Amino acid sequence: MKKNILCILATAGIASCSDPKPRPQSYLRLEYPEAKYERTATNCSFTYSKNTLSHIEEDKGCQFRIVYPQMKASIYIDYKPVQNNLESLLVDAQKLTYNHTIRAEEIIEHPYVNPDKKVYGMFYNVTGDAATNIQFYATDSVKNFVVGTLYFYAKPNYDSIYPATKYVEKDMILLMESIEWK
């Protein structure tokens, strides 16, 4: 009886040791709803378009956040009037971006010029494990200056947040391109 049990166990053990078969790779699949945009006015001197999946949380003065709860992300918007300080505002906006060079693999600049609406600025893509992967500034060079910065409520890991970053990037491009000064 003991020999039969040992034979059965040995046969089962040998049969279970078949050649390993490769399994297909799996990828994280994140799907976000199609973006719909609405025109939004501010208490400051500009209007813009934002994704309806986001909502606004007011801070102080002309600072606010466009919050994406599903992605645990926010676009921080800071409006400042230009008062003979355009150069310092530009330096501060550029410094905000280039402070990430320690963790960034690359910073790609995309200039934006719309003379019809008098909107001029720069859009930055920051690749790598930087605290923020997308930033922009826009100005009319005379009265208005706006800075936008994307932050996630997570440790920066570029590969993990990449799908959400690409989704919000489209919104930030549209936000910058839709700015109209009052």
Would you say residue 28 lies in a domain?
A: no
Distance of CA 174 to the CA centre of its chain: 13
Classify residue 168 as left (phi > 0), alpha (psi -120 to 50) or beta: alpha
Instruction: Tell the residue number behind the tokens 């000064």, with chain if given.
Output: 181
Would you say residue 100 lies in a domain?
A: yes
Range of the domain at 133: 68-182
Would you say residue 95 lies in a domain?
A: yes
- For the ranges 23-37, 48-62, 99-113, the maximum mean pLDDT occurs at 48-62
Would you say residue 76 lies in a domain?
A: yes
Backbone angles phi, psi at 101, to 5 degrees: -65, -20
pLDDT in tens, 53-101: 999 999 888 999 999 998 899 999 999 999 999 999 999 999 988 887 7
Instruction: Determine the Cα–Cα distance for residues 162 and 73; give it in Å rounded to an integer.
Output: 12
Would you say residue 2 lies in a domain?
A: no
Would you say residue 164 lies in a domain?
A: yes
Split into its structural domains, the chain has a count of 1
pLDDT in tens, 124-152: 999 888 888 899 999 999 999 999 999 99
Would you say residue 72 lies in a domain?
A: yes
Distance of CA 133 to the CA centre of its chain: 6
